[in-house]
Structure 1
Amino acid sequence: MSLFLFILLACLRLHGVFGVDTEEVSVMEGDSVTLNIGVQTDQEDRIIWYYKGIRIAVISGDHSYTCTDVQCNKGNERFRARLELDHQTGSLTIMNTRITDSGEYTLVIFSRFSDSEKIFSVSVHGVFGFDTVKVSVIEGDSVTLNTGVQTNQQDGIIWYYKGIRIAVISGDLSKFCTDVQCNEGTERFRDRLKLDHQTGSLTIMNTNLEDSGEYTLVISNIFSDNEKIFSVSVHGVFGFDTVKVSVMEGDSVTLNSGVQTNHQHKIIWYYKGIRIAVISGDLSKFCTDVQCNEDNVRFGGRLKLDHQTGSLTIMNTNLEDSGEYTLLISSFFSNSEKIFSVSVHDPNSDSTPFLSRLQAVVVVSVSAGVIAILLIVAVICCCKCRARRKANRTKRGRQASGAEDSSPDQRNTFLMTDLSDSNLHQAEAANETPS
């Protein structure tokens, strides 16, 4: 009995209670939505909720520690008191949903026997078919995201990049900030943001590839809150391509930088815009995961940096490690970027990636075609051989029949001819003999 219990607990620890599927949730903008975990917690459980890798809610089984949104992460006020945790189950409710609340929410339950995960993919749909403004720019150029309004003393304008506040301006200019001034843990744009005091429009200067993504504008006044989304695409000058990497869940994968570091190089890795690893050429600065960003425990010590090249290894991969990883290499002369699109596949899933299925179909089709051609050739050769044998038998039969039909005079003539030839050869041989 004890052995069975041990095996059962080991399986729970390896596979978790939820499996690997993502639960799809849809809600209309302005309504509330509850993400149900489907289990009862106890005093030894600890529940953590993440939104796009950022911790947004925590509750311990004995309620000794509970937090939501900005209480859990000082620099994150993404939901602005719109989150509610159920103390009995740990389920999370998002109130007064907005278009920008769409995305992946990850639930992690830590208990004495197992660590379990569950992913909710939330889609918030606008009541009036809210559209996203698409903006395209060449790397290195500047781009302005226009609000289309004139601010007044009652308006407050806030800009978000992938849910992180990057710029704020109040109508009376009593509050004004960009980038790290608005959020201590964010140095994503490094003084490349500029706000228009009259309109609140945002300009991104000297754009780079990892500036691509969704920018959300929130305009608040005493009557209502309005939102607008800008989808920005930054294209490389030389047609920068994304390196696609595929790995099976549980295996390790290395994202190769392709360079040798030196004292002038600084290498920074980002995952979905969040810094996850840093190394300087002289090794004076070195960190991975939570060491680089104390609010980010996304990888749980599964990252490893190569000191010589700055290449990043992700160990014991899981499905939610999939996504874009951006490598930024800074030197005295220039900055360069490289994007890796990582796909982690479930080895036990019945659904094989499309490319693999296509390759399998092609291989089977080609093999079947080759076999069919070989069979046809074999049949043709066999038919030809049979026809040739039949023709030879017919020919021999005709020859034999012709020999039997020959007259005695003909046979004597043949015999005399043979004897004459023999006598002639003997005479020639006698003449050649020396005297």
Structure 2
Amino acid sequence: MRFSSLSFQISGLKPLEKMRQFLICLLMWHLTGVFGDEVKSVSVMEGDSVTLHTDTKLQRDDLILWRFGPQGSLIARINRAANMISIYDDVLDGRFRDRLQVNDQTGDLTITNITTQHTGLYQIIISSKLKISYRFNVIVYAHLPAPVIIRDSCSSSNCMLLCSVLNVRDVSLSWYKGNSLLSIISVSDLNIRLSLPLEVEYQDTNTYRCVLNNTITNQTQHLNITQLCQTCSGVFGDEVKSVSVMEGDSLTLYADITEIKTDDLILWRFGPQETRIAKINKAANKISIYDDVLDGRFRDRLQLNNQTGDLTITNITTQHTGLYQITINSVRQISYRFNVIVYAHLPVPVITRDSCSSSKCVLLCSVLNMRDVSLSWYKGNSLLSIISVSDLSIRLSLPLEVEYQDTNTYSCVVNNPITNQTQHLNITDVCQPCSDSCQ
């Protein structure tokens, strides 16, 4: 902490009074820096108006500047001494044109008919006897579409549904059974297609609904099982068994045959093009492995049991994720399918300090280049927040705000359906009080 630029005129006072005046000035000087670092969060729906309040009554000689964005673009100014208000609504491609209003008594800024383009950091600087600054982080949410529920697949007794929304950001998509939450997927800072599966039985009489929500509002779609889940035709040929495995392990796909008959022909295929990867011709007593197909991803990894037709993939990688099909030509043709998902080993999540204020610290828990994972904050054993993604390889980050004096235990967990990794938070180590607020 430096005091070289701080001076006081306190001559003529008694020593005790001098000390008291010095401490008051020091406190005022310290607090001025702190409040300048505070950021107030404001959420608003697209199309509404929002007013950023200064909570100040302007003085006669005040100069007020409103700035926006990372470059601090000037969007409004009040010069009380000159009795002049200036609106710069043509900056930044005119996104503020005819939308800004400034109150010349308080300095409050109003943005009318707001859009998602107006999301960002706003700063007001009031130059008076003291220089005061306030910041507002404004998040504008687009109106939510109603989620769409479709049938994805079916079997002899169950129906697999997908609830989906397109081109949304900063939302969560959830399935509810009555009032009980069944599953949730959340994304922020992304514009993608979100889908969340649900498996139900044809005879299920429970009430289900899919809910899309952001911080301000939500949209709900109720499920009509009778309408969507008609019994599949050709059910048994459409059976798909899901199999999950960790990268580096071995996986065996079972043909469920006690013993191959003398004249059986068995074919194993992989992927959307149904590329042949293995064959057993029992009549010719011949086994063929086609492990050089598809850029050689199966090379020296396939093993075939000539008694049962089971296929084993050794030292499996994420390149082997996909649909496998076995076709058995015997007295009749039988087909089975396996949806194999190979999960990479999870890294330990990293916790860093993102920002701070006079009393609080904002942390970020992050993992890099992950897919099909969820990232969560826990307070003790209680879930605080969660973000999940599938079919993406991105950087996932999840914020947490804590006070410096907080003595609770927090942990950040990254997990997939098979395993998880946990990072415990040490508030003392990560959340040192901000040095820039004390200078």
TM over 0.5: no
Higher Cα Rg: structure 1 or 2? 1
Bigger fraction of residues in helix: 1
* TM-score for both structures, normalised by structure 1: 0.30
* TM-score for both structures, normalised by structure 2: 0.30
